[in-house]
Amino acid sequence: LVAEGPVFCSGHDLKELSSEDDVKHHSQVFEICAEVMTLIQKLPVPVIAKVNGLATAAGCQLVASCDIAVASEKSQFATPGVNIGLFCSTPGVALGRSLPRKVALEMLFTGEPLSAREALMHGLVSKVVPEDKLEEETMKISRKICESSKSILALGKATFYRQITQDLDTAYRMTTQVMVDNLNLRDGQEGIEAFIQKRKPVWSH
């Protein structure tokens, strides 16, 4: 996901949330936003945010919802809703799952932005690079991912998000079965055979 201009994403259009619109409309706006955020994690392919600028409120939520986020050094991340009387509760869902609780709550309570380096330190983004290296680094990650089997990536991504909410024993039981299922996939066997034969695998996709 990439944006044009100095802002990655500033979140909701506040004009859509004025009292001129009814509760049903407001509910629809937030329900669609939540659907978009959850769909990112349900997609069978990795989703990378390429951030070059400000990501605020639902824009910050979008970055937190992606599988990988690469940011330029000038990027900033904030949930400033509290300052205009609209606490960033839905962005808090994604932030609370990406950041340590106290960092997420400081962002939510104060609205103060995190720098790109702070976002990296706390795990909101995966990598920070100079602005002129952003495209190159993002494409390097993308190309590396594309070398792998699409079906194996889909299985791995779905499994990761399932296990992350489970207790340790349940997560290990579930992922143990997934490893067995993975071995029985065509690309699972192809990868092992290619490794043993010291050749590049030929994936089914």
Task: Tell me the CATH number at 105.
Answer: 3.90.226.10
* Mean pLDDT score across all residues of the chain: 94
Would the pLDDT of 166 be above 90? yes
Percent of the residues in the chain that have a pLDDT greater than 90, as a whole number: 86
Q: Give the single-character DSSP code of 165.
A: T
Give the pLDDT confidence score for residue 24 in this predicted structure.
Answer: 85
Name the residue range of residue 55's domain.
7-146
Q: Does 180 lie in the same domain as 119?
A: no
Is the Cβ–Cβ distance between 98 and 105 less than 8 Å?
A: no
Q: Given the DSSP bridges, would you call strands 68-72 and 54-56 parallel, antiparallel or unpaired? A: unpaired
Q: Give the confidence band of 77 by pLDDT, cuts at 50, 70, 90.
A: very high
Residue 175, amino acid: T
Percent of the residues in the chain that have a pLDDT greater than 70, as a whole number: 99
Task: Please choose, from the candidates 77, 41, 43, the residue with its C-alpha nearest in 3D space to the C-alpha of residue 60.
Answer: 77
Mean pLDDT in residue range 22-40: 90
Q: Does 16 lie in the same domain as 106?
A: yes
Q: Does 155 lie in the same domain as 141?
A: no
Residue 184: HSE in the Cβ half-sphere, 13 Å Cα cutoff:
5
Q: Give the confidence band of 20 by pLDDT, cuts at 50, 70, 90.
A: low
Q: Does 184 lie in the same domain as 121?
A: no
Q: What are phi and psi of 203, to 5 degrees?
A: -75, 150
Q: Does 177 lie in the same domain as 188?
A: yes
Give the pLDDT confidence score for residue 21 in this predicted structure.
Answer: 63
Give the pLDDT confidence score for residue 11 in this predicted structure.
Answer: 85
Q: Does 177 lie in the same domain as 113?
A: no
Q: Does 140 lie in the same domain as 67?
A: yes
Q: Does 156 lie in the same domain as 122?
A: no
Q: Does 155 lie in the same domain as 86?
A: no
Q: Does 113 lie in the same domain as 172?
A: no
Residues 6+ apart with CB under 8 A from 96: 104
- Listed range (12-26, 77-91, 180-194) with the worst mean pLDDT: 12-26
**CATH classification of the domain holding 159:** 1.10.12.10
Residue 78: beta bridge partners? 56
- pLDDT greater at residue 161 or residue 10: 161
| Boundary-marking domain end, from 128, 146, 164 | 146
Give the pLDDT confidence score for residue 27 in this predicted structure.
Answer: 87
Grouping H, G, I as helix, E, B as strand and the rest as coil, residue 53 is coil
What span, in angstroms and rounded, lies between the C-alpha atoms of 27 and 153? 34
Judge whether 2 lies within some domain.
no
The pTM assigned to this predicted structure is 0.91
Residue 76, amino acid: Q
| Boundary-marking domain end, from 146, 167, 185 | 146
Residue 79, amino acid: T
Structural domains of the chain, count:
2
Would the pLDDT of 94 be above 70? yes
Rg of the Cα atoms in the chain: 19
